[in-house]
Structure 1
Amino acid sequence: MKIITFSHYKEVTDDVLKDSYAVVIDLLRATSTMIWAISNGAKGIIPVEDISEARLLKRLDESVLLGGERGGLKIEGFDLDNSPLSYKKEAIFGKTVVMTTTNGTRALKKASFAKRIFLGSFINAKKTAEYIMKETLHYNIDTISIVCAGTEEKFTLEDILCAGYFVDLFKKNLPDVFLDDLSLASHVLYKKFENDPHEILKYSYHYNHLKKLGFEADLEFCLRKDFVDCVCEYKNLVVEKV
């Protein structure tokens, strides 16, 4: 099994993805928020790249909710921001959410050539990795691609740290695992800080940007591991529970 990691969505190459299962990670916060929304009963999430596209979908179907951010903050006129704590059951149960974010929704779109696309986060990593390993072995898939969303089209530390956790899970449970250099580096980083990711992330750009905006509770939420059993897949332009 080959594990290939991309540092941000602009680096993704379709020739690698087309034969692989992909895990897309935007830890702070898009994939964490989408996973939490689905686990709280959202019917589905439609990721779009542009604000104008989200608003068009709202005009076509008034029942959908609009969620997302620009610069970390709620978009004017939208129902929800990009904080997982906003996606409470009473707000989103049975609803479809159209979401646009600076990085995460673009990363999902960029991964569209993969055989299957899963959402990754610390909050559901173990359950997701278990499902992917079972499926790849059953269908003889020999490559798993980890697509980090990045921040502002650049490498971001938190996504790589989460990628390292997925690599750790795959290494422990799959035979003959080959890691590319970034997968290896992410694993080394994760093992060093697995018990306290804040210790390294407190020096990172996006972590501190969200902290300055007052999202400390989001940081705590997104850095907790494996308290969500929901596996989420991006399929036919919609994120749904597997």
Structure 2
Amino acid sequence: MGKIQLIFKKEDIQPEQMKGKVAVVFDVLFATSTITAALADGASSVIAVYDQSQAREKAKSLEEPYVLAGEDQGRTIEGFHHPLRTHLNPIVKGKHLILSTTNGTVAINRSSQADHLYTSSLLNNREMAKHLIENHNDDTVVLVCSGSSGHYTMEDFYGAGSLISYLVEKGNFELSDAAQTALLFYNGLSISPFQLLRSTRIGEVLVKAGLDEQEIKFVAQEGVLHTIGKYDPSTRQIKEVE
């Protein structure tokens, strides 16, 4: 029997303790949703970096075509593309997406010592659960909620609860108290995923800053993409699982 554990925010990740485990990182608004969509849209890979300086250094070392995208505290980094599917969809096919975000890409890097590292979102949770059951049914799976600047975020907790619901439907897992709480929250919600994401602190802040609500409506869709992103430690790239 496998185990499902949950980490509430990236600051709680102890990198050494990720060894021997399977990690799945969530940043629903928006990093892991963007990663999932970019791979579905034909990106060669996504390279998740800590910050904009690391992104620029990585760009210098790449000989293949790439796209630089990122935000810092919700603002698009100067000279970078906006890190949302609508902006990246027309330009990302056949290119490496170098992505820098305040929370999600940091959580990915802090989780990189896991034996297997994936990124997930509401968009692909159903497919992710199927993959985990087929390949990691006896492992310890750690769901990592990125959070926001040291704080827990409801959207990532909801995203984790969504994945857990699909895992327990078909798989055989023992849930930690935190994982059980996420599942209860997901199952007990009486509003739509869009309404939840729109009402979160991050959702409110981004909409007030001019974000089109259509961006939130897109990432609130469950199971519309079948892409699974997996981190390759040899290249430090997230690629689609074939």
Same fold by TM-score greater than 0.5: yes
Tell me the residue number matched to 2:60.
59
Counterparts of 1:99-110 in structure 2, within 5 Å, are: 99-110=99-110
What is the one-letter code of the residue matched to 2:136? Answer: T
Does the 8 Å CA contact 2:66/2:95 hold for their aligned counterparts?
Answer: yes
Does the 8 Å CA contact 2:230/2:240 hold for their aligned counterparts?
Answer: yes
Tell me the residue number matched to 1:240.
239
What is the one-letter code of the residue matched to 2:239? Answer: E
The question of 1:48 aligning with 2:49 is answered yes
Tell me the residue number matched to 2:34.
33
Alpha-carbon distance, 1:3 to partner: 0.7
Distance 1:3 1:223 in 2: 23
Distance 1:234 1:241 in 2: 9
Tell me the residue number matched to 2:73.
71
Q: TM-score scaled by structure 2?
A: 0.92
What is the one-letter code of the residue matched to 1:76? Answer: E
Alignment CA distance shift 1:192-1:21 (3 Å) = same
Alpha-carbon distance, 1:17 to partner: 2.1
Distance 2:7 2:190 in 1: 21
Per-residue deviation, residues 147-178 of structure 1 (Å, max 9, x unmatched): 01111121000000010011111111222x22
Counterparts of 1:87-236 in structure 2, within 5 Å, are: 87-88=88-89, 90-137=90-137, 140-141=138-139, 143-175=140-172, 177-193=173-189, 196-215=192-211, 216-236=213-233
3-state secondary structure, aligned to 1:68:
strand
Q: TM-score scaled by structure 1?
A: 0.92
3-state secondary structure, aligned to 1:154:
coil
3-state secondary structure, aligned to 2:128:
helix
The root-mean-square deviation of aligned C-alpha atoms, in Å, is 1.6
Alpha-carbon distance, 1:15 to partner: 5.3
Does the 8 Å CA contact 1:22/1:145 hold for their aligned counterparts?
Answer: yes
Instruction: Structure 2: state its 5+ residue gaps.
Output: none
3-state secondary structure, aligned to 2:91:
helix
Alignment CA distance shift 1:96-1:200 (3 Å) = closer
Tell me the residue number matched to 2:6.
5
Identity in percent? 27
